Structure 1
Amino acid sequence: MESKTFLDSLPTNFRHEKSFFNKKNLFELEKLSNLSDLDINEIQTKSPLCSLNNLKKIRAIAIFKKEIAISPPEAYLLLHCGIGSIKSLSLSTPYELERKIGRLERSLRVKVGTEITFSLLKKWIIKAKQIN
């Protein structure tokens, strides 16, 4: 059985970035979360199919996973709701996040596949405040 890496859990729209990282054997959560803006710009220059926006999202998802133990699908959802960093998460309230997730679900006309409860949102925010 093949072990699943952090990159395997990302959506298919990250296929070019995942391919680049796999070719470079750069799939460890620690390394991905520590990518600097300079590193991201270099990757984008070396591999034009990798989008700058997606590379930054991968870094943000890795940071959420590493620092707060948020799963990649949940972190991706936070990004879609406008929460792109631990600082912005720490400044949010569970009510705000719940409202943003609900608005996103209504605008996409789909129910989010993850079980995100009010208490889970509160736990994430508390962890983010401790880090900040």
Structure 2
Amino acid sequence: MGSKTFLDYFPTNFRHEKSFFLKNNLVDLEKLSNLSEFDLNEIQKKSPLCTLNNLKKIRAIAIFKKEVEISPPEANLLLHCGIGSIKSLSLSTPYELEAKIGRLERSLRVKTESEITFALLKQWIKRAKQVYKSY
């Protein structure tokens, strides 16, 4: 069995977006993270089954992966906690993130599969601040 590609980390409700990206050879992390709002709207026009919300999530996760080196499942967790950009991550504190993740886990009544420690949260925020300053 081959290694997983970036798009393989997305659940089945992203099947239309994954299919579009595969058909159009948009599987490169660099290309996905650089999609503009215009590009996302054009994709939705070409493939109406793709939702703008899912396209934006894929782009945000690609940016987190590329810029801050956060795995797709962890980036998806941040999105579900309301952290949707490098800027919002850089303005957060580890305590806020820990509370948001805990709140999400309690509301969903599940424990996240990845081991997210306080030190890891600090590392993400530090990298996000470095990336945000370089913009």
Q: Same fold (TM over 0.5)?
A: yes
1:72-98 C-alpha deviation (Å, 9 max, x unpaired) = 000000000000000000000000000
Report the counterpart of residue 50 of structure 1 in structure 2. Answer: 50
Q: Report SS of the residue matched to 2:21.
A: helix
1:44-86 C-alpha deviation (Å, 9 max, x unpaired) = 0110100000000000000000001100000000000000000
Asked if residue 131 in structure 1 is aligned to residue 131 in structure 2, the reply is yes
Q: Report SS of the residue matched to 1:114.
A: coil
- The normalised TM-score by structure 2 is 0.95
Deviation for aligned residue 1:13? 1.6
Residue type matched to 2:66 in 1?
K
Q: Distance in 1 between matches of 2:11 and 2:68?
A: 20
Equivalences for residues 117-128 of structure 1 within 5 A: 117-128=117-128
Q: Distance in 2 between matches of 1:70 and 1:24?
A: 25
Specify every segment of 5 or more residues in structure 2 that has no aligned partner in the other structure, as ranges: none
Report the counterpart of residue 85 of structure 1 in structure 2. Answer: 85
Report the counterpart of residue 25 of structure 1 in structure 2. Answer: 25
Q: Report SS of the residue matched to 1:89.
A: helix
Deviating beyond 4 angstroms after TM superposition, the runs of 4 or more aligned structure 1 residues are none
Aligned length: 132
Q: Distance in 2 between matches of 1:3 and 1:113?
A: 20
Q: Report SS of the residue matched to 1:112.
A: coil
Equivalences for residues 86-125 of structure 1 within 5 A: 86-125=86-125
Q: Distance in 1 between matches of 2:3 and 2:121?
A: 29
Q: Which segment is superposed worse, 3-12 or 103-112?
A: 3-12
Identity of aligned residues (%): 81
Q: Distance in 2 between matches of 1:33 and 1:105?
A: 28
